[in-house]
Amino acid sequence: MKGIVFDGEELRLVEGLEVRSPQPGEVNVKIVNAGVCHSDVSVIDGTIPFPTPLVLGHEGAGVVTEVGSAVTSVAPGDHVVLSTLGQCGACPSCDAGQPTMCKSTFGARDTPFSLDGEAYYNFANISAFSENVVVKANQAIRIPEDIPLTAASLIGCGVLTGSGAVFNRAKVKPGESVAVVGVGGIGLNAIQAAAIAGANPIIAIDTNAEKSDLAIDFGATDFINATDVDTNQEIRKIRADGVNYVFECVGSKALIEASIGYLDWGGTLVILGVPPLGSTVEFMTVATYLDVTIMGCRYGTSRPQTDVTRICELYKAGKFKLDELVSRVYPMEEIHTLLEDMHEGRLARGVLDVCSI
Ligand SMILES: NC(=O)c1ccc[n+]([C@@H]2O[C@H](COP(=O)([O-])OP(=O)(O)OC[C@H]3O[C@@H](n4cnc5c(N)ncnc54)[C@H](O)[C@@H]3O)[C@@H](O)[C@H]2O)c1
Ligand SMILES: [Zn+2]
Ligand SMILES: [Zn+2]
């Protein structure tokens, strides 16, 4: 089996990777396409510390090939999107419909892979940059077969995270004002969800001028090129009082701090970006006197079965863009070119062709 592995120093494509057989509650999925999210890059550059060696990737779609003896939710041949959660289904958070708060979904370290007899960790409970993966059955969410797997591959992280921050976490209402900082895979989905929610204005902010057309196509009403301008002043030219919501989709301490200043009284900052572990931020406490709220948001506060199904329905109804998120599809051999294009800001999302169907 082919896979893209990281040993703490080098990222490489290997042959001969093996994955264990599914246990009773698990399934084996052949990955057809995998999206590359900035969190994968953050493992490579150390922003997100993770034990090595590991198989990278956590955003993918494919076909179920084998199911464990206790699995009834999917069957071999089903097309599925993968969720990174793998919630336990039995704790108070799961019971309350908050699987992102299920304690068993974070920090578990499994080594389902091996290469030349050495154990390899999976990343974010998945490792989508491998021809086959073994995941919990509730991580494999069945989707209609007429949804292209290239497009579907992005639902499992970028789409759920960006759109869920707007729909589930912030619950943006019609006419409320929104700014989205960072027009990458996460930010574009926050923008299109804000447009679906009826927000106005929707101000997209990026340091890469080429993101302007994309942002407008996804529903932004304005674009601010944050290079060499005072972003706060530019926002206030559009809405003098500042905005009701800012979604930080870069993962920068400086931008999180600046974003609090973009808010109107009573506004909400939703932090999606993941700065280096241990980062701290400073803000003027007068913000709290003006009823400002600062929210974290893990994985779009998603309920994967519900949200993946809804996104697929919206896509089929022509109301949610997925194909437009796929800037280019690369063979696994070209992962370094993909990362370079991502770094240069040329991509909405870069997608890997992992296996043919
Ligand atoms: N909270 C979660 O559950 C969750 C899930 C997935 C990803 N993330 C995080 O979200 C962040 C974004 O991920 P992505 O995949 O969209 O990244 P990406 O690389 O696709 O996009 C980042 C965008 O930010 C822009 N940018 C960089 N510096 C900027 C600046 N100073 N001002 C304005 N824009 C700037 C880039 O030009 C790019 O368009 C990362 O930190 C990632 O780890 C969080
Ligand atoms: Zn991700
Ligand atoms: Zn649970």
Q: 264-309, pLDDT tens digit by residue?
A: 999 999 999 999 999 999 999 988 899 999 999 999 999 999 999 9
Average pLDDT over residues 254-261: 97
Is the confidence at residue 250, as pLDDT, over 90? yes
- Residue 80's pLDDT band, with cuts at 50, 70 and 90, is very high
Note whether 275 and 332 are same-domain residues: no
Note whether 128 and 179 are same-domain residues: no
Note whether 172 and 234 are same-domain residues: yes
Note whether 183 and 277 are same-domain residues: yes
Note whether 243 and 136 are same-domain residues: no
- CA-CA distance, 141 to 151, in Å (whole number)? 15
The predicted structure's pLDDT at residue 107: 82
CATH number of the domain residue 43 falls in: 3.90.180.10
Q: 154: which 2 tokens?
A: 């992005």
Neighbours of ion ligand 2 (CB under 5 A): 37, 39, 157
Contact between residue 62 and residue 354 where contact means Cβ atoms under 8 Å apart: yes
Is 87 domain-assigned? Answer: yes
Average pLDDT over residues 56-61: 98
- CA-CA distance, 310 to 65, in Å (whole number)? 25
Residue 184: DSSP 8-state:
S
- Domain boundaries, position 292: 161-299
Is the confidence at residue 20, as pLDDT, over 90? yes
The predicted structure's pLDDT at residue 187: 98
Is 315 domain-assigned? Answer: no
Q: At 193, is the secondary structure helix, strand, or coil?
A: helix
Note whether 102 and 203 are same-domain residues: no
Three-state secondary structure of 66-128? EECCCCCCCCCCCEEEECCCCCCCCCHHHHCCCHHHCHHHCCCCCCCEEECCEEEEECCCCCC
**From atom 10 of ligand 1, which residue's Cα is the shortest distance away?**
273
Is the confidence at residue 206, as pLDDT, over 90? yes
Pairing mode, if any, of strands 202-206 and 118-122?
unpaired
Note whether 49 and 92 are same-domain residues: yes
Non-local (6+) Cβ contacts of 63 within 8 A are 29, 30, 32, 77, 78, 79, 80, 357
Give the ligand at the shortest distance from the Cα of 88: 3
Ligand 1 pocket by C-beta < 6 Å: which residues?
A: 37-39, 42, 157-158, 161, 181-187, 205-208, 211, 226, 249-252, 255, 272-274, 297-299, 342, 345
The predicted structure's pLDDT at residue 106: 86
Is 120 domain-assigned? Answer: yes
Give the ligand at the shortest distance from the Cα of 161: 1
Note whether 132 and 171 are same-domain residues: no
Query: Range with the lowest mean pLDDT among 29-43, 99-113, 158-172?
Result: 99-113
Looking at the 3D structure of the chain, how many domains does it have?
A: 2
Note whether 64 and 137 are same-domain residues: yes
Is 314 domain-assigned? Answer: no
- Residue 108's pLDDT band, with cuts at 50, 70 and 90, is confident
- Residue 109's pLDDT band, with cuts at 50, 70 and 90, is confident
Is 311 domain-assigned? Answer: no
Note whether 24 and 150 are same-domain residues: yes
Mean pLDDT of the chain: 97
Contact between residue 136 and residue 26 where contact means Cβ atoms under 8 Å apart: yes
- CA-CA distance, 66 to 115, in Å (whole number)? 21
* Percentage with pLDDT > 70 across the chain: 100
Note whether 168 and 131 are same-domain residues: no
Is 226 domain-assigned? Answer: yes
Residue 340 CA to ligand 1 center (angstroms) comes to 15
Please choose, from the candidates 329, 335, 346, 270, the residue with its C-alpha nearest in 3D space to the C-alpha of residue 40: 335
The predicted structure's pLDDT at residue 247: 98
- CA-CA distance, 215 to 181, in Å (whole number)? 11
Rounded to 5 degrees, φ, ψ at 131 are -60, -35
Note whether 57 and 107 are same-domain residues: yes
**Which of 36, 38, 157, 161 has most ligand 1 atoms within 8 Å of its beta carbon, as the pocket-test mutant?**
38
User: To which residue do tokens 């493992």 refer?
Assistant: 43
* Percentage with pLDDT > 90 across the chain: 96
Is the confidence at residue 193, as pLDDT, over 90? yes
Rounded to 5 degrees, φ, ψ at 46 are 90, 0
